[in-house]
């Protein structure tokens, strides 16, 4: 879900992105201060244990990505480029105001391809995690078999987050944080879209100490990458070919974030996934 939000904003959301970056950095500063205060009354061994628990998903994700990062990146390269091409063509055919024109086109273009890429990537990661080693083709076919559920989830969560963003950003960020695991519940627990959203809300309730700092860091990376990419594209003329190239460059980061999300999902799970991957 966080990937959908990142891809959706595109050119039209630069002002929102800058405000969000400021808010996230402020939250991270407060988080660091609070962690420093809490560590004053914690023994060194306890502090080390807490630090390891926060870093474990990142370390595991880096190890996994070093082996399978190219494969996962290719999935997102194909999805991102296809979504960008569709979005550009749709934007040229729409007759809406400039910001809405791009957002509606991105919503449709991303919705067609992103659920397939994310679903296939989650199946791919889960199969390696279980030692089953499904092929990329099999993972894509499994994702296509669940496409309707993934598409409904994408539409519902994106509209929910955009509704929250209409109340000056902060409610939208809160809702984005609450639905970050929705796709994972659909793929790994075979939930329907509404169940997946409800379970994602519940999963984030009791794990805020681990998930919220990770969410802030991930979102900061994504938004920072987006702002930098859009700035470079604008400075070079903002052509459609540059937008497609930007989508290609962002793909590896999106793939890595999905791996981190899977590790966080597994780490906060009390029961094994139902899906036979």
Structural domain of 181: 2-34+57-267
CB neighbours of residue 66 within 10 Å: 9
In a domain, 48, yes or no: no
Q: How many domains does the chain have?
A: 1
In a domain, 191, yes or no: yes
In a domain, 122, yes or no: yes
pLDDT in tens, the chain (277 residues): 555 555 555 544 444 454 455 555 554 544 444 444 444 444 444 444 444 466 777 888 999 999 999 999 999 999 999 998 888 888 888 766 666 677 788 888 888 999 999 999 999 999 999 888 899 999 999 999 999 999 999 999 998 988 888 887 788 888 999 999 999 999 999 999 999 999 999 999 878 888 888 888 888 888 888 888 888 888 888 777 888 888 888 899 999 999 999 999 998 886 655 655 5
pLDDT score for 3: 55
Distance (Å, whole) CA 219 – CA 211: 12
CB neighbours of residue 111 within 10 Å: 19
pLDDT score for 188: 94
CB 57 within 8 A of CB 214: yes
In a domain, 26, yes or no: yes
170-178 vs 147-165: helix axis angle to the nearest 10? 150
Structure tokens at 48: 């080390």
In a domain, 199, yes or no: yes
In a domain, 234, yes or no: yes
pLDDT score for 10: 52
In a domain, 87, yes or no: yes
pLDDT score for 127: 95
In a domain, 221, yes or no: yes
Distance (Å, whole) CA 71 – CA 65: 9
Q: Which residues contact 218 (CB under 8 A, 6 or more apart)?
A: 2, 257, 260, 261
pLDDT score for 92: 80
Structure tokens at 166: 């209409």
């Amino acid at each position: 879900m966080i990937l959908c939000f990142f891809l959706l904003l595109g050119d039209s959301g630069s002002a929102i992105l800058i405000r969000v970056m400021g808010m996230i950095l402020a939250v991270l500063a407060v988080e660091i201060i609070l962690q420093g205060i809490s560590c004053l009354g914690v023994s060194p061994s306890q502090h080390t244990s807490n630090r390891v628990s926060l870093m474990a998903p990142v370390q595991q994700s880096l190890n996994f990505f070093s082996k399978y990062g190219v494969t996962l990146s290719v999935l997102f390269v194909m999805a991102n480029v296809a979504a960008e091409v569709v979005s550009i063509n749709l934007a040229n055919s729409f007759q809406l105001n400039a910001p809405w024109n791009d957002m509606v086109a991105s919503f449709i273009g991303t919705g067609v391809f992103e659920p397939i890429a994310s679903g296939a990537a989650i199946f791919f990661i889960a199969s390696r995690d279980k030692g089953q080693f499904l092929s990329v083709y099999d993972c894509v076919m499994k994702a296509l078999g669940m496409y309707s559920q993934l598409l409904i989830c994408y539409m519902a969560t994106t509209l929910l987050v955009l509704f929250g963003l209409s109340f000056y950003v902060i409610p939208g960020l809160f809702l984005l944080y609450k639905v970050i695991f929705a796709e994972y519940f659909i793929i790994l627990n075979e939930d329907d879209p509404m169940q997946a959203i409800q379970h994602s809300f519940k999963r984030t309730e009791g794990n805020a100490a681990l998930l919220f700092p990770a969410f802030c860091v991930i979102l900061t990376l994504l938004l920072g990458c987006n702002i930098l990419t859009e700035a470079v594209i604008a400075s070079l003329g903002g052509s459609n070919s540059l937008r497609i190239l930007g989508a290609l460059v962002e793909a590896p980061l999106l793939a890595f974030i999905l791996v981190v999300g899977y590790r966080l999902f597994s780490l906060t799970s009390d029961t094994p996934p139902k899906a036979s991957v």
